[in-house]
Each structure stands twice: as structure tokens, then as C-alpha cells.
Copies of this chain bind each other. A is one copy, B any other.
């Protein structure tokens, strides 16, 4: 039961697209991630996924539209909906989703699929 200071956690890593676990509750995980560039298209078969932008600008692209977000904006992507995430410049994002979700969903990608359960 210790508090987590997000700025301290974000300062502990530099790599992009590698979520770090900072909290667990009710079978869900709270992760933080730094992003830059464009992530592969994918969907999650049975998990909804929430993104909350902490710093920078971040977007979630769907096949028919794009949702642009800045700090303090959040979006929930329902299960089954194809999407990809992207950021032109580095952004910091908080993710809330069920335990042990594969970050690339239905896709396995040599570059982007990240290990689970990496704690900070």
C-alpha cells in the first residue's frame, strides 16, 4: 500500500511501446508506456482497453476515423474493435486493462509485442 508517483515511474525508462506495470486491482492492471511512432493494427478479442494521456499528444486510429488526444484525455476501446495507436512525438500514456493482455492483441509482432508483467 505505497503510493505511486507517475513522474518518477516514467523517469525510470526510455524505450517506447514497452508497457510497465505500476498497479494491480480487481484482476486489472495499471500500466504506463512511452510511445512514439505508429503501432501495428490489432484488436483484443475479449478485453476493453483504456488509454489516459499523461504527457504529449497521442492518437488512436480506427479504420474509419482518428481520435486525437492530449494530456488529461482518455478513450476506451471496446473489445473486438480494430485499432492502432500512434504519436508523432514522444507521449506518455496510462493504460488500464485486464491482467496479462498482449499489447499487440491478436497479432504477434517481432518488434512491438512486449513482455507482460514488467514492473516498475
Contacts and interface: CB of A to CB of B under 8 A. Distances in A.
Interface of A: 1-7, 22-26, 28, 30, 47-50, 54, 62, 67, 69, 72-78, 81, 96-98
B78 A1 contact: yes
A25 B3 contact: no
By secondary structure, the A interface counts as strand
15 contacts: A1-B62, A1-B75, A1-B76, A1-B78, A3-B67, A3-B73, A5-B73, A7-B72, A22-B74, A23-B76, A25-B76, A26-B98, A28-B96, A30-B76, A30-B96
Given A1-B81, A3-B67, A67-B1, A24 B72 contact: no
A62 B69 CA distance: 36
A25 B6 contact: no
Contact of A25 (B30, B50, B67): B50
B75 A4 contact: yes
Contacts of A72: 5-7, 54
